[in-house]
Structure 1
Amino acid sequence: MIRPLSSKSLLKAWELIMIDTQTIFEIHHLKQQGFSERKIAKTVHLTRKTVRKYLDNPIQKRPVIRRKSKLDPFKNEIKQLLEQDSHVSAEVVKQRIESMGYAGGITIIRDYLQKVRPTNKQAFIRFESAPGKQMQIDWGHFGSLAYGDTRRKLYALAVVEAYSRMLYVEFTHSQNQSALHQCLLNAFTFFGGTPHEIVVDNMLTAVIERQGPLIRFNDAFLTFLIPFKMVPIACNPGAPHEKGKIESAIKYLRRNFWPLRTFTDLGDVNRQVRKWLDTVANVRVHQTTLKRPVDRFVDVCHRALPELIADSRETQTLKVYKDFAVRFDANTYTTPPWAISKQVTLKANQQTVIIFYQHKKIAVHDRCWQRGQRIETPTHKEQVRKLQRKLWLDKDIAAFSSIGKEAVTYLQALSQARQPIKKNVSRLLSLKDDYGTTSIIYALKRALVHNAIGADYIENILYQEMTPKKQHPPVRLKKEALNNIRLPEPSLAEYDAHVIKRSKK
């Protein structure tokens, strides 16, 4: 049976919980009015001992009730582990003390380590740059965007003008060399010029190697900076305070722009962030300068952009395959059919893919971010159809197709396999001359059954299974063109129909 608390115990528990500043003030106010301690205790519903205690000292520290922790028996061991390695993780500590009998979770270990782990915090002097002297840049990762069944990683390059805190942001699906250069060029255009210095992180597209104070910058990055006459400055590893302005800008982008937004594609992300820059980021009052970045930027005078700027688009030399297309970034982009088998140059930015042949533009496509797609220009497809129609009017092809339906089917198979039709037909007609029409039809049937497309397969079948017929060379004429005349195979069905028609009369 549980005994109820006495009125005295209830009063003590109530006092422990409810004594607050208002009650203490009331005790002293009643005392000033001449109330006795007994009467004050009765008025505020406290014991006389409690009233006397708060009259003697109004500021009383609440007793700290310390509960036992599962970690208590192991704290000396944890202290020794921290002395050996101040950065030891909670997982490793848990593994060590579990062998000693610890049965708790990892959360209390993490909380305890956060309290007792020695810290080495340093003080840093804030520095301010002169107007137009310095820009700071850095990448941020922002998840991915979906294009159908394809997901592309999404990155943001942020560029901040150090004096004014004027911000430029551009989202991309890559952090490669050309993406960095394109974004920087767009940023310089946005700011209307270039600074004297550009502060970078140790990204591989800017810094290849460093040993202490010795830094080896990326050659392509240095080549890009030459026309702008800028000096690159690389931060020390693990020293975010050296580029604190851009670090703050990335955090601000995550906190203020990114939440609760939806996007359809990369273009939509960049349209939204540009609007955010113009209406929010660059017109708000900055917490450090206490001025709007757009107002401080008036004092900035950048160096003008050079007249000639190197092409920073992603560039590749590619082969045009038999489907009159090149392979780029997991997609195929078409070219005019006359470019088949030729080497072309592809230049791509975030919006457009342009294909050149010998410095002449031959195809322009919108860039597709969904993988496994074929991007066609209607005129390219129409050119192929015209070539195919013209091909069927060729005298050799007409002569070969007159052999029979097997020959027509094989021509279609050659076309679908992107085989050179004229070359194959010329060889097939020569084989017909050597082996005869019946043999060539037999070989075509065999080849179609096994999907063996090409004159080489037909020649192999005939060589293995047929015997060339005895050749009787025709009389050679003086005009070589007359020696190459080929007549279509006569259709015996037409003669049969004519005979049947005459017999009915």
Structure 2
Amino acid sequence: MLKLEVIVEVHQLKKQGFKVAAIARKCNLSRTTVYEYLERDFEEACRWVDNLKIRQRKLDPFQDQILEWLKEHPDLSASQISDWLEDCCSYTEAGDSTVRTYVRELREKYHIPKTVTFRNYEAVEELPKAKQMQVDLGEIKIKTFEGKWIKIYVVAFVLSHSRYKYAEWQDRPFNTRDVLRCHENAFEYYGGRTDEIVYDQDKLMTVSENGGDIIYTEEFQAYKQQSGFLIYLCKAADPESKGKIENVVKFVKNNFAKNRVFDQIDTWNEQCLAWLERKGNYQVHNTIKKRPFEVFALEKPHLRKISSLLSFESNHVTSITRTVHKDNIIKYKSNRYSVPLGTYKPHGENTVYVRIEEEELIIEKTPGGVPTATHPLSRGKGQLIKNTHHSRDRSKGIRAYMDTIKNAFNDQEKIQLFLEEIYRRYPRYIRDQLQIIQKAVKSFEPHVQSALNVCIEKALWSANDFHDVAKHLARTQEEFNSLPADIPTIEMTSIHYKDKASVRELDGYLKILGGM
């Protein structure tokens, strides 16, 4: 009777003036089905429903098997039954929705309700100020400006008392050092830390629960000992014990990240912090019925002060790392810091180590080694902090560059003439031209003067021509040197040139022709 009741309801809603789309929403039907039901009158609908009761259904041959499974395992889902049908009976003809409908009707007909396991919860009292912080990680797929889908990763923090939130994103999966760095950033954002921090059993921080004697990863254990905070580790498969941060991760992913277009990770983090200020930490929290930023103002004085930022980096072997980008900069806290030109290697190791010392950011190739670069630490966002000597050496100017190249040549007048001419012909590309000449000097040094002579003689006023001529001369010299030294020689005397070929008499040819 259920289908007949639905058909009757569809007709009644239509008579009341509802449109097809509204009827579809109210009855949880597709618009195609609504149109189909509206075409049937009551008597036709009754006959159609009766036919449905006696017709053969796809899953009828497996009814006994499905009933047996349901009676033995009342908590079986329709999805599992679909999988078991494929695995045990090699049956794949029915779709998921068909299986769900069939299983639901069997449960109703044979009174086999689905067993639902339920865990009893009780509300917990609000924790005092600065008592606890909760931490968790998440990930989400988002679309870039190019229309591509990428996955980005977030670590979120929340103060249990005030619900004041902090989040930091990466465009790659987090490792332990990333998580520890984000801890330091969160402590700086909050202006201190809580007595206790709640974590899930994440492999970045824990190795084993070990019956309560928790084994932490080496890096996290070192950081924990230095920082001095207590750790509350959730038991396995118990996400409810850190429900506050679970909700925060969902909130950040669904309210901030979802449907937002990604540009670059630094901009994304800046947008997230701005969103936290105007939305995440500003709007009234549903549980405490207060604005988190207002409650945080009262909680902040009770937080434990931290000794120094990145202290875990300087006292342990593990130190913060950054990747040198192809424009010879590193990124740190939404700012860009320069390193000397040439530090980036296209196919080499581009990892450097960063430490903070007396408001200076020090960049090193190895921890504790000779600094690659030192910059004043910027507290702003989106800035480029660059040392002038990290760029190409422009202080000497083009003339000084030309004087440096001239030292490799013997004939100073000719090289001066050649350089002046290419300067006249290629004013916009003079530095590139000089670099090509310098490269030729380094590669074919013994032949550069000869190449210069050829270029002037043939009026080849280009650094590329100079390079090609020097390369040709060097290759010709190599080929000549590769010839064997003991090649035999044939001596010819002048007497050979005096010999003449013998001349046959004409009679001899006539005899031969006559014989033909």
Specify the TM-score bucket, using the shorter chain as the normaliser.
Answer: 0.5 to 0.7
Q: CA 1:139–1:360 in 2, change beyond 3 Å: closer, same or farther?
A: same
1:227: how far off?
A: 3.5
The corresponding residue for 2:228 is: 229
Percent sequence identity over aligned pairs? 23
Distance 1:120 1:417 in 2: 76
1:194: how far off?
A: 0.8
Contact in 1 for aligned 2:447/2:470 (Cα 8 Å): no
- Equivalence map 1:355-366=2 (5 Å): 355-356=363-364, 358-359=370-371, 361=373
Distance 2:198 2:278 in 1: 26
Tell me if 1:173 matches 2:174. Answer: no
Distance 1:67 1:153 in 2: 47
Distance 1:140 1:383 in 2: 46
The corresponding residue for 1:157 is: 155
The corresponding residue for 1:95 is: 86
Contact in 2 for aligned 1:324/1:336 (Cα 8 Å): no
- Equivalence map 1:238-277=2 (5 Å): 238-258=237-257, 261-262=260-261, 264-277=263-276
Distance 1:131 1:66 in 2: 68
Tell me if 1:74 matches 2:71. Answer: no
Distance 2:363 2:132 in 1: 37
Q: CA 1:256–1:458 in 2, change beyond 3 Å: closer, same or farther?
A: same
Which of these residues, 431, 442, 465, is aligned with residue 480 of structure 2? Answer: 465
Distance 2:330 2:267 in 1: 26
Q: CA 1:280–1:215 in 2, change beyond 3 Å: closer, same or farther?
A: same
Q: CA 1:417–1:205 in 2, change beyond 3 Å: closer, same or farther?
A: farther
The corresponding residue for 2:311 is: 310
* Amino acid in structure 2 at the alignment position of 1:397: A
The corresponding residue for 2:38 is: none
1:160: how far off?
A: 1.1
Which of these residues, 117, 122, 131, is aligned with residue 133 of structure 1? Answer: 131
Q: CA RMSD in A?
A: 5.7
Contact in 2 for aligned 1:153/1:173 (Cα 8 Å): yes
Structure 2 gaps of 5+ residues are: 1-6, 13-48, 108-112, 314-318, 356-360, 379-384, 423-429, 458-463, 484-516
Which of these residues, 119, 124, 134, is aligned with residue 122 of structure 1? Answer: 119
Q: CA 1:466–1:290 in 2, change beyond 3 Å: closer, same or farther?
A: closer
Segment drifting more, 338-347 vs 142-151: 338-347
Q: CA 1:459–1:263 in 2, change beyond 3 Å: closer, same or farther?
A: closer
- CA offsets per residue over residues 363-422 of structure 1, 9 Å max, x none? 8999xxxxxxxx99886554169487534313442437848989x9xx999976798666
Contact in 1 for aligned 2:207/2:216 (Cα 8 Å): yes
1:286: how far off?
A: 3.1
The corresponding residue for 1:105 is: 95
The corresponding residue for 1:144 is: 142
The corresponding residue for 1:383 is: 393
Contact in 1 for aligned 2:142/2:257 (Cα 8 Å): no
* Amino acid in structure 1 at the alignment position of 2:303: H
* TM-score of the aligned structures, taking structure 1 as reference length: 0.56
Tell me if 1:397 matches 2:370. Answer: no
Contact in 1 for aligned 2:239/2:246 (Cα 8 Å): yes
Secondary structure of residue in 2 paired with 1:393 = helix
- Equivalence map 1:413-424=2 (5 Å): 423-424=442-443
Contact in 2 for aligned 1:316/1:345 (Cα 8 Å): yes
Secondary structure of residue in 2 paired with 1:397 = coil
Contact in 2 for aligned 1:193/1:304 (Cα 8 Å): yes
Q: CA 1:112–1:291 in 2, change beyond 3 Å: closer, same or farther?
A: farther
* Amino acid in structure 2 at the alignment position of 1:222: Q
Secondary structure of residue in 1 paired with 2:163 = coil
The corresponding residue for 2:37 is: none
* Amino acid in structure 1 at the alignment position of 2:408: I
- CA offsets per residue over residues 438-470 of structure 1, 9 Å max, x none? 8xx9xxxxxx89x99998x965641431599xx
1:288: how far off?
A: 3.0
- Equivalence map 1:343-382=2 (5 Å): 346-347=352-353, 355-356=363-364, 358-359=370-371, 361=373, 380-382=390-392
Secondary structure of residue in 1 paired with 2:140 = strand
Q: CA 1:324–1:106 in 2, change beyond 3 Å: closer, same or farther?
A: closer
- CA offsets per residue over residues 319-346 of structure 1, 9 Å max, x none? x9xx9958999xx997445979999973
Distance 1:72 1:205 in 2: 50
The corresponding residue for 2:197 is: 198
Secondary structure of residue in 2 paired with 1:136 = strand
- CA offsets per residue over residues 221-258 of structure 1, 9 Å max, x none? 23333342113333233221121111122223344444
Contact in 2 for aligned 1:137/1:157 (Cα 8 Å): yes
1:197: how far off?
A: 1.8
Distance 1:78 1:14 in 2: 32
Contact in 1 for aligned 2:176/2:204 (Cα 8 Å): yes
Contact in 2 for aligned 1:140/1:156 (Cα 8 Å): yes
Q: CA 1:340–1:362 in 2, change beyond 3 Å: closer, same or farther?
A: farther
Secondary structure of residue in 1 paired with 2:408 = helix
Distance 1:292 1:163 in 2: 12
1:122: how far off?
A: 2.3
- Equivalence map 1:54-65=2 (5 Å): none
1:303: how far off?
A: 1.0
Q: CA 1:113–1:397 in 2, change beyond 3 Å: closer, same or farther?
A: farther
Distance 2:255 2:343 in 1: 49
Q: CA 1:288–1:464 in 2, change beyond 3 Å: closer, same or farther?
A: same
The alignment covers a number of residue pairs equal to: 386
Contact in 2 for aligned 1:324/1:335 (Cα 8 Å): no
Q: CA 1:77–1:208 in 2, change beyond 3 Å: closer, same or farther?
A: same
Contact in 2 for aligned 1:415/1:421 (Cα 8 Å): no
1:131: how far off?
A: 2.8
The corresponding residue for 1:39 is: none
